[in-house]
Amino acid sequence: MNFSESARAVPVRLPVRTVLASMVGLWLCYFLLTTLRGSIVGLEMPYELMWRRALVSVAGVAITFVMWLVLRLFDERGLWAKILAALVLALPAAVLIAQTNQMIFADVETRVIEKMGERQGIRIRRDEAGNVLVDVPGLPGQYDTPDGQTVTGPGVTEPSVGATVTLAPAPTGLDRWRQLSDIALGRYFLLLAWASLYLALLAGAQAKSSERREGEFRRAAKAAELRSLRYQVNPHFLFNTLNSLSAMVMTGKADKAEEMIQSISNFYRYSLADDPTSDVELAEEFELQQHYLQIEQVRFPERLITRYDLPPELAQTRVPGMILQPLIENSVKYAVAPFNQPVTITLAARAEYGRLVVSVSDDGPGHNGRSRDGEAGENGAPGFGIGLANVRDRLEARFGKEASITSGPTRHGYLTELRLPLVTHG
């Protein structure tokens, strides 16, 4: 994914599998809790009620899924818009679930009432009008005559025909609405609980997506910074070498000019081969600097001496490409070019306490308390000029606080050391 693609806002969606799992989990909890409640209170026909309760739970999952299809349209809206949508959408869904519940349990209610009466030894029934009736038998020693008189006495042995008592009148339309509202209110809060879970999961997914996009932006910015820093090296070097090449041509040193052109070709073949932001093997970086010093040796054949010290076990460790170029240029510029005496430039590497230490040093006289980029530090101490600042910034962009650079004069010349993590793979 490139920077422009990652910069585009992509709507964050929860996977359908996750959404379904949350719905099934919610209604499974409802099923288990209501079943447990039924067993505690001792409801009649537990198995009959159980499979009907399971049907209600399945219907609840289906209705909640339809609710989600509408609620997900608000995924990219603000928090209060999502909350308001959940409050509104849960209302018709709860009513629909309550109606489904009444429809599934409608024919079992009368049977449950009759079972309760049988267990109490009385007959409880519902008439055609919907009234719940209780048939109360007469007591021994009491007899109801056909004309409605009740005869009592010790000699009366025929039991009473008894009486029918209305336990509950047939529900009116208002009663049915109240019952539906009571069931719907319970399901409404159940749906709001699921909506809260969904919004929490969505907020988590959106936060992760924001962190991922932020990471992509940071990586893209760092890559741009690294490219900019490395591209600062090439024009400066090219300007110097072309000036030297022009001087050789003008002074009739055609052979030397041809040799320098070949060295320049080798140098740029290596330096431009890879992505400017990528790391290279330390052996390759040493070879690149060797090509550069060969170019400079054409300019200073009698003055420039080179030495390389790269242990074989460190050859495949990786460093930012061309990270040593400004340091080598500083040694040539301040130790070799201004003086007429031989100067040895040493490029070395070693492992120290689990870290890679790469050093560029020279034994030239150009260390008069100024940095090799001509900028004095505080109190006359060596400072960081353009070249050293470039190296420092690239190290910080690549490794953060895990890398450091030190630079300054020594008793025998000038030394710059880079301390980097030991990276052995790309």
Q: At what angle do helices 46-71 and 79-120 cross, to 10 degrees?
A: 170
- Helix-, strand-, coil-residue percentages of the chain, each rounded to 5: 60, 15, 25
CA distance 382 to 374: 9
- What phi and psi, each to the nearest 5 degrees, are found at residue 65? -65, -45
SS3 of residue 280 by DSSP: strand
In 137-292, beta strands by DSSP E: 142-144, 150-152, 163-168, 279-281
**pLDDT tens digits, one per residue of 261-297:** 887 777 777 666 555 557 889 998 998 888 888 888 8
- Give the pLDDT score at 358: 96
Is 324 part of a structural domain of the chain? yes
Q: Taken in order 380, 385, 390, 391, is the CA torsion positive or negative?
A: negative
Q: Indicate whether 208 and 345 sit together in one domain.
A: no
Q: Indicate whether 207 and 277 sit together in one domain.
A: no
- Give the pLDDT score at 252: 80
Domain that holds residue 22: 3-125+171-215
Is 224 part of a structural domain of the chain? no
Q: Indicate whether 121 and 144 sit together in one domain.
A: no
- Give the pLDDT score at 316: 93
Is 261 part of a structural domain of the chain? yes
- Give the pLDDT score at 222: 63
> Are 347 and 289 spatial neighbours (Cβ–Cβ below 8 Å)?
yes
Chain-centroid distance of CA 79 in Å reads 20
Q: Which helix (H) or strand (E) holds 125?
A: strand 123-126
Q: Indicate whether 83 and 157 sit together in one domain.
A: no
- What phi and psi, each to the nearest 5 degrees, are found at residue 162? 90, -170
Q: Indicate whether 314 and 371 sit together in one domain.
A: yes
- Give the pLDDT score at 114: 63
CATH value at residue 250: 3.30.565.10
Structure tokens at 16: 């359908």
Q: Indicate whether 137 and 117 sit together in one domain.
A: no
**pLDDT tens digits, one per residue of 71-121:** 999 988 888 999 999 999 999 999 999 999 888 887 666 666 666 666 666
CA distance 58 to 104: 12
CA distance 292 to 323: 13
- Decide if pLDDT at 139 tops 50: no
Least confident of 10-24, 167-181, 357-371: 167-181
Is 141 part of a structural domain of the chain? yes
**pLDDT tens digits, one per residue of 395-410:** 888 888 899 999 999 8
- What phi and psi, each to the nearest 5 degrees, are found at residue 49? -70, -30
- Give the pLDDT score at 142: 46
pLDDT band of residue 209 (cuts 50, 70, 90) is confident
Is 222 part of a structural domain of the chain? no
Is 225 part of a structural domain of the chain? no
pTM for this entry: 0.48
Q: Indicate whether 56 and 138 sit together in one domain.
A: no
Structure tokens at 124: 């409880």
Nearest to 322 by CA among 369, 357, 367, 288: 288
Q: Taken in order 54, 55, 56, 59, is the CA torsion positive or negative?
A: positive
Number of domains in the chain: 3
Of 147, 168, 189, the domain-final residue:
168
> Are 198 and 162 spatial neighbours (Cβ–Cβ below 8 Å)?
no
pLDDT band of residue 377 (cuts 50, 70, 90) is very low
